[in-house]
Each structure stands twice: as structure tokens, then as C-alpha cells.
Amino acid sequence: MSAYMGKLLYVDLTSETIKDISLDPQLVENYVGGKGFGAKILYDLLPAKCDPLSPQNILMFMPGPLTGTLAPAMRGCVVTKSPLTGTFADSYFGGHFAQEIRFCGYDGIIVTGAAPEPSYLWVDDGKVEIRSAAGIWGLDTFSTVEKIRAELGDESVKTACIGPAGEKMVSFALINCEYNRHAGRAGTGAVMGSKNLKALVLRGSKAVTPADPDAFEKAVDQAYLEVAEDETAAGFNTFGTPASIDFANDEQLLPTNNYFDGSFEGADGLNAEAQSEQFWLRNVACAGCPIACGKVGMIKKGRRKGLITDVVEYETAAMIGSNLGISDVREVAYLVKKCDALGLDGMSAGGVAGFAIEAYREGIITKDDTGGQELNFGDSASVEYLLDKIAAREGLGNLLARGVKYASEEMGKGSDAYAVHVKGLESPAWGPRSVPGMALALATADRGGCHQRAFPILYEVGGEWNGEAVDRDALKGKGEIVAHLQNYLAALDTLVKCDFAAYSIKDSTYCQMLEAATGNQWNVDKLMQLGERIWNQVKLFNLREGFSRSDDTLPKRFTEEPLPAGPQEGKKITLQDLDQLLDEYYQVRGWDSSGEPSPEKLKELGLDNMPALVQVPAQ
């Protein structure tokens, strides 16, 4: 007995093949779950250089071995090849959907092919059907969930669905996993749309049983204790992620007017205090989470009065607020909810809108392109116009729907100066010009510019790492910090943990929970090696897709334009700085100077002759 359900659900929408795949013990031992399963299966099953929007692409919904147990704050991830970047993509979601996969009796769902007509997948406790989505195609995400629940006569079914943006394959479309939890980044919703798959709907009743229930209960108690005693967790509960607005603003990390600046004079209008005053009512939590960082609210005053909304997370408060010069959080809440309803990733949407507004200001986009609509920073009507056009892929919106990299390449005229992305993924809301470690983390993140693969800012600004002093401005030493964080988070993304809980729960406690749940022995060294194996497995995928050292880079905004004012004035990360950072980082990783893992490193990680561990089932 162990916390594994022992099988994956495989669905080919083209041939309507529905099969169970037994878990290979080697997959469990070497890749554990979540990101690990996704990385290995994508590498094994996807033909090299396959079009991400072709039926061949694979869309996976992966919980971890602790998801659906009593372990706190466990979630799920979607893994696929990104239509936005062409890289490996993993996108994480909270809520209750990932738990339901396990309650249906699966350790993951693999979807491939494309349905001839709009469809949804109905998994009722292990009984699987492909159903017509004719009645829900075209609906926004919220209406989709309501209608599915009404049709099935069950308010408790768990859903993952796309909105109009996903149906039209906008490259940064998201997958909505209930009210406001999303697999947001890297265009997972576009892949789902390309498969004519509107939703997955689950209802399960199976139990997830740890191998050693007594030891598991003890380890879970310890994890809860660590959360209860930790100030960071208390801060997430009280202030949510918007607490980071003040920190980022003070440290000049807050994207402002398409990252032109690192601090925003209207930051007070976006922070936790402003949100609390304007609309927060009570806390909400994902399944089994004691932190409960979500907030249900309703806007109390002004033209958005009565709008029901959740917390505006730091990333969207920054990308749709400060990055677009908007300081009224009620307007930001309205625009973020619009993104959620249309099924657009709010982070990328903020980056794309910032790009478009700046290109308009510089005369590269004109009123001829916008049908007379002005595009200005600080104007929510400009942003609303862009969101509608992008989701519908109309006019200028059709170009912007491919993201800033593609749009700037098509537009030319120097517009790449305003395209803030890494490998095609619009940058997250952490401007890295005064934090070289964060710059390196963004340049080397496996799915393009991402702050969730490593977040060295805490140590660069905090001035300490593992008991050693850290110089914020130094280049030297940052490679080791970034590689360590990437390995650790890749390991925890196999579980699949919530990032916010990982600040509180110790690595050894995660190991105790994993060991008691699975019956396999775990310690911190083994966990770190697992993370390194997965990081290298993903690297092998990205190398096979044609990515190289030249792609581990940063946009011109960060390499050529210094911060214009404030305590960090004049700072930027030049391409020479980046070269130095990469040289050290590749060396720490055991990769050659072109960024390829050495044969010795692959052997050390068991990747030199790892066989395919999942086979396509016979039809």
C-alpha cells in the first residue's frame, strides 16, 4: 500500500482511445510525480520540434504523491509544450481539481490528439467519457463551470476549463481550475483549445492511503506546526501576496510603465492595505491549506461597486497595476477578473498591454491599428480594449495574442526594445536590474522568464545565504544560489507543493511526509538530487527543441536601460554581466560552456541511459 493510485489516465481525443497506463516503478523512483512525471513523459512521448498547437502535443494534469492526502498545501500542475515559448511548460494550480484526480483513482491525466468537435472529458470515479461541449463552447470560464454543474446536477464536481481566449488559441491563454485558481502561465489554455477540449470534469470518491499512516500523521502534524509557528505563513494569511507590493516598491523591483522604472508613485493604491479597505471580506483556502492566503471580497465604492472579486495577487496587481500605470486597485481587480473570465494569463496580459501602450506612445502602433482607440498608461479603458481584442483575436489583438516576442518581431521598427520577455514568456513582476541573481534566475528558468523556479531576491536583498553574507550587487556566487534553489524547487514541484507553504515547511519534513506516504526512503540529499535530475531532464527537452546559451538571455530593457532614478539608480545587467553569471552557473551545474549537461553529469543523475518509462497504449 502506498499513496500512489498506481495508474495514469491516457486519452487520445482523435481516436477516442481511453486507457489506463500502469505506473512504471522506475518512473516512481526517479521522477516521483508532478513536474517529474511531466518532464519525463513529455520527453518520452512528444516528437522533437512538434507544433505545440498540433494534435500531437500532450497536455498533462499532474498531482503529486501527497496531493489528496492530509499533507498541507498540495496542488497540481499542467505540463505541456508551450505555444508561447516552444519550451517545456509546467504551470501550477491550487483549488481542488488536483485532489479530485487522485480521488478518481489516477496519479495523472494525459491528453493527446484533438477532438473533431468541441468536447469535454467527464471522469466519474474512474468511468471516463468524451462528451459534446456544444452547449458550453464560447462561454467564459465562470459561466462554463456553472453550466457544467447545472447540467450534471452536481455542484461538487471539480472542473478545469478554458475561456474564449483558449478556444481561439491565444498563446497566453490559461486553464481555470475553479473560481480563481489557474494554470496561468505559458499558454496551457491554448493547447487545450487546440484539442477542442473545453473542460475536464471530475468526480471521485477513492481514498489516498499513505503507506505508513501513523508515521504520516506524525509528519503532517510537524508540517502543520511549522506553518503555525512561522511568521511568513501568518503574513500570507493576513496580507496575502499583495504584501510584496511595498517591498518591491521600496527595493525598486516593481515593474512600472512597462518596466521603465522599478518603483511606482501609486503603489499605495495597490497594496494589501488598499485591497483590504476596498474589498476584502474573508479568507479562503485551497484544499487542505492552513495558510488560506485567498480573500473573497466585494468592491464597496465607486464605479466597480458590487464586483465580487478575490485578492488581486501581487503578480497581477503589479503587471496590470503599476506596470500599466494604474493605481486604483478596484480598476485592477476589474481587469484581472476580466482576464480570468476570458481565460487570459493576467501576467502575460499585463506585459503585452505594456508593450502595446509603449509602442503606441512611440508611434509604432497608431490609431489606424486600434480603430481610433487611444492607448495610454494609467488608463484602464485602454487595457480593457486590448484584452477584448486579444481574446477575440480581432485586428491588432490577433498580433498581440501571440505574445510580445512574436508581436515585436512582426512589427519591427525597434519595438523589441519594449518587448520584455525571456524565451517568449512575458517577464514576471520582479525587475532584475539591481539583483543579478534574479537576473540569472530569469535567464535560465526552464519555461522562460519565471520567478518561481528560483527567487534569490530574498537572499540578495536580505544579505545572507546559508549563514554567509551575500553582496546584492555581486555577480560572483549567484550561480550557486540559483542552481541550488532551482534544484530544490524542482524537487518540491514533484510533490506538488504550494510555493507559499514551502517558505514555512522544512525540507526534512517534506522528506518525512514523502517517505511515510510512499513507503520509499527519502532524505534531503536524495531530494536535492531528484530536483537536479528533473532540472536536467527538462534541459534535455529544451536542448532537443533547439534552445541554447544564446536563449539564456534578458530583454534589452534590463541589459541596456538603467534604472532611471532612486536608490538603485543607474543599475542594469549588461550582456557582459550575464555572460559572467552564466559561466559560473553552467560550471556549478556541470554543464559545458554552451549550456549542455556533460556526460559525467548525466551519468551521475542516471540520465545517461534512462529508458522511456511510459509507452503509448495500443488502441
Nearer to ligand SF4, 137 or 179 (CB): 179
Distance of closest approach, residue 283 Cβ to ligand SF4, in angstroms: 8
By CB under 6 A, residue 296 contacts ligand SF4: no
When asked if residue 285 is in the footprint of ligand SF4 (CB under 6 A), the reply is yes
C-alpha pair distances (Å), 582 with each of 270, 390, 428, 553, 587: 35, 35, 20, 9, 8
Which parts of 406-564 are beta strand (E)?
421-422, 425-426, 464-465, 468-469
- The verdict on 53 binding ligand SF4 (CB under 6 A) reads no
**What is d(CA 37, CA 110) in angstroms, rounded to the nearest whole number?**
11
Instruction: Find the shortest distance in angstroms from Cβ 267 to ligand SF4.
Output: 22
Give the shortest CB-610-to-ligand SF4 separation in angstroms: 32
**Shortest reach from residue 284's CB to ligand SF4, in Å:** 7
Distance CA 233, CA 503 (A): 8
Q: Which of 76, 210, 294, 597 binds ligand SF4 (CB under 6 A)?
A: 294
Distance CA 78, CA 74 (A): 14
Q: How far is the CB of 91 from ligand SF4 (least distance, A)?
A: 14
Give the containing element (helix H, strand E) for 563: none
* Stretch of 3-11, 141-149, 371-379, 498-506 contacting ligand SF4, by CB under 6 A: 498-506
Residue from the set 291, 365, 492, 538 that interacts with ligand SF4 by CB under 6 A: 291
Identified binder of ligand SF4 from the candidate list 485, 498, 605, 610, rule CB under 6 A: 498
Closest CB to ligand SF4 among residues 73, 440: 73
With CB under 6 A as the contact rule, which of the stretches 202-210, 251-259, 283-291, 414-422 interacts with ligand SF4? Answer: 283-291
Decide: is 293 part of the binding site for ligand SF4 (CB under 6 A). yes
Quick one: how far is CA 577 from the chain centroid?
27
Q: Is the Cβ–Cβ distance between 90 and 306 less than 8 Å?
A: no
Among 27, 270, 289, 335, binds ligand SF4 (CB under 6 A): 289
Q: Which of 3, 32, 53, 73 binds ligand SF4 (CB under 6 A)?
A: 73
Of the pair 313, 515, the CB lying nearest ligand SF4 is at 313
d(CA 262, CA 250): 9
- Choice between 130 and 292, CB closer to ligand SF4: 292
Q: Does 123 bind ligand SF4 (CB under 6 A)?
A: no
Task: Estimate to the nearest angstrom the gap between the alpha carbon of 589 and the chain centroid.
Answer: 24
Report the alpha-carbon distance of residue 410 to residue 426 in Å, rounded.
16
How does DSSP classify residue 318?
I
From the CB of 291, what's the least distance to ligand SF4, in Å? 4
Stretch that binds ligand SF4, among 284-292, 448-456, 464-472, 476-484 (CB under 6 A): 284-292
Distance CA 514, CA 281 (A): 36
**Smaller CB distance to ligand SF4: residue 293 or 357?**
293
In the three-class reduction of DSSP (H, G, I as helix; E, B as strand; rest coil), residue 333 is classed as helix
Site for ligand SF4 in 388-407 (CB under 6 A): none
Stretch near ligand SF4 under the rule CB under 6 A, chosen from 405-413, 417-425, 497-505, 539-547: 497-505
Q: Is it true that the peptide bond before 496 is cis, omega within 30 degrees of 0?
A: yes
The distance between the two most distant Cα atoms of the chain, rounded to a whole number of Å, is 68
Q: Give the interface segment with ligand SF4, choosing from 9-17, 354-362, 496-504, 565-573 (CB under 6 A).
A: 496-504
d(CA 534, CA 486): 10
**If binding means CB under 6 A, how many residues of this protein chain bind ligand SF4?**
13
Q: Residue 199: how many CB atoms within 10 A of its CB? A: 26
Applying CB under 6 A, among 286, 319, 391, 573 the residue interacting with ligand SF4 is: 286
Torsion of CA 354, 360, 361, 363, to 10 degrees: 150
Q: Can you tell me the distance from the alpha carbon of 272 to that of 243, in angstroms, rounded to the nearest whole number? A: 5
Degrees (nearest 5) of the Cα angle 375, 381, 383?
A: 65
Q: Answer yes or no whether residue 139 interacts with ligand SF4 by CB under 6 A.
A: no
311 binds ligand SF4 (CB under 6 A): no
As a 3-state breakdown, the chain gives helix, strand, coil percent values, each rounded to 5, of 45, 15, 40
**94 near ligand SF4, judged by CB under 6 A:** yes
Task: Give dist(CA 279, CA 311) in Å, integer.
Answer: 9
Q: Does 538 bind ligand SF4 (CB under 6 A)?
A: no
Question: SS3 of 230, please?
Answer: coil
Q: Using alpha carbons, list the distances in angstroms from residue 87 to 48, 84, 320, 495.
A: 11, 8, 25, 22
Q: Which residues of 165-178 are buried (b: 16+ CB within 10 A; e: fewer)?
A: bbbbbbbbbbbbbb
Candidates 140-148, 155-163, 282-290, 602-610 — which segment interacts with ligand SF4 by CB under 6 A? 282-290
Of 17-25, 281-289, 334-342, 343-351, the window that binds ligand SF4 (rule: CB under 6 A) is 281-289
Please say which residue, 289 or 505, places its beta carbon nearer to ligand SF4.
289
Whichever of 402 and 497 has its CB closer to ligand SF4, that residue is: 497
Nearer to ligand SF4, 230 or 379 (CB): 230
For ligand SF4, the binding residues (CB under 6 A) are 73, 94, 236, 285-286, 289, 291-294, 498, 500-501
